[in-house]
Amino acid sequence: MADSFDCDLLIVGGGPTGVTLGLLAAQNGLKVIICEKEADIYPLPRAAHVDHEVMRIFQSVGAAEAIMATSRHTAYNDFLTADRQILLRFEGSNRIGAVGWPAANMIHQPSVERALRDRLAEYPGVDLRSGWQFEGFTEDSSCITADFAINGDVRSLRSKWLVGADGARSPVREGAGIIFDDLNFDEPWLVVDTIVHDYSRLPQVNLQVCDPERPTTCVLMGNGRHRWEFMVKPGETAADVLDDQFVEELLEPWNVAGAITIERKVVYRFNAKVAQAWRKGRVLLAGDAAHQTPPFAGQGMCAGIRDAANLAWKLGRIVRGQATPDILDTYQTEREPHVRATIGMAMMMGQTVHHRSGSSSRTRPRDARSARRRSVTRRRRHLASHNQRNDFLRIARGWRIFPSISERRGSKA
């Protein structure tokens, strides 16, 4: 029968974007099926930070308390010189933000995903099917039919709408024939995640060490973890930097032997990409399927959660007959400028950390400040040309990168 649907909304991908969207869509009265190829959540850490607005969205699905219970807070985000002098200090990360949660929350992504999935039990309208691997879809004027491989079998589901929240490699994006704008950021970084035994021997604030010899990030995480990220230098291979002895030498100056155990070490390529189209007919993209950002601003997953919040109420109105599908055209126009501005900020922060001019640590502060000024000017020009400068300044003020005029006046008084 042409009008027999398995669900209103079919979501491919049970990561943080897909599950948050599922919860919000169910709140909006939709019948939702989430299909996830893996048996369980990805168990190793990725995101380390979420901002206060994202905490507000988590609150709206009832997951905020559980997430806060495993989060930590940092008073500062410090950019340091190679000899560990403070170059830039961004304050206020632990202050309660405008929407009632601390501005920056250092998290453990698997714990966040567990808290979100635990909420599914409270929403009978959403059904998570693990072990369902998306294979492809067909679309007609009223319906999407998607095929899934399950234990050697193939099953089809019919839905009014399909959202690909299936991560950076997104088979849904590929099936829809949507390509990325590549913003030309592609850097390999060694990520070392550790389990903490003695917090007193670890930095209590987030650090970006602008060491021309080895740009390094060191950040708090939730649920008993702490992370280091080391830039992989030209000429080094993944095998070189993943060597146990090599990692031990990188950590040696931090004097943390005995205070931590390494949980995993991995080389990630940090990219900056935005899908050219976020909607094609009855198919939409959300989260990493739609955009990828280098993690220097801690905003990749946050962007996916914002996508979910933008989409859920619009799909709810359409399915209830209170809006026409045209409303979905506002999804990309509303979300893309914010995503591009956030990626711009992350790239600017990355350029600040990894300014590798060969300058000595004595001259480094002046070099780094002027590099940052040049980079900011370039970025301002770029964003102004895309009518995004205001968005960028708003975000940057949240991070205390560019204080507002009144804040500057206040600090002089």
Ligand X SMILES: Cc1cc2nc3c(=O)[nH]c(=O)nc-3n(C[C@H](O)[C@H](O)[C@H](O)COP(=O)(O)OP(=O)(O)OC[C@H]3O[C@@H](n4cnc5c(N)ncnc54)[C@H](O)[C@@H]3O)c2cc1C
User: Which residues contact ligand X (rule: CB under 6 A)?
Assistant: 12-18, 35-38, 42, 46-50, 109, 133-134, 165-167, 171, 191, 268, 287-288, 295, 298-302, 304
In this structure, what DSSP letter does residue 101 have? S
Q: Give the separation between CA 174 and CA 219, rounded to whole angstroms.
A: 34
H helices of 80-184, where?
109-119, 171-176
- Rounded to a whole number of angstroms, the minimum distance from the CB of residue 319 to ligand X is 22
Q: In this complex, which beta carbon is closest to ligand X, that of residue 250 or of residue 323? A: 250
Q: Smallest gap, in angstroms, from Cβ of residue 166 to ligand X?
A: 4
Neighbouring residues of 203: CB distance < 8 A, sequence distance ≥ 6:
218, 220
Burial-class residue 184 by CB neighbours within 10 Å (0-12, 13-18, 19+).
exposed
For ligand X, give the closer residue by CB, 81 or 293.
293
- In the complex, minimum distance from the CB of residue 1 to ligand X, in angstroms, rounded to a whole number: 27
Name the residue nearer to ligand X (CB basis): 16 or 97.
Answer: 16
**In sequence order, what are the beta bridge partners of 139?**
144
HSE at residue 25, side-chain half, CA atoms within 13 A, is: 31
Q: How far is the CB of 18 from ligand X (least distance, A)?
A: 5
Of the pair 30, 289, the CB lying nearest ligand X is at 289
Angle at 75 between CA 71 and CA 81, to 5 degrees: 115
Of 23 and 364, which CB lies nearer to ligand X in the complex structure? 23
Tokens linked to 343: 């990626």
Tokens of 168: 């950076």
Shortest reach from residue 287's CB to ligand X, in Å: 2
CB of 7 to ligand X, least distance (A): 15
- Give the residue with the Cβ less far from ligand X, 117 or 364: 117
Task: Name 146's bridge partners.
Answer: 137, 157
Q: Which two tokens stand for residue 303?
A: 């962007």
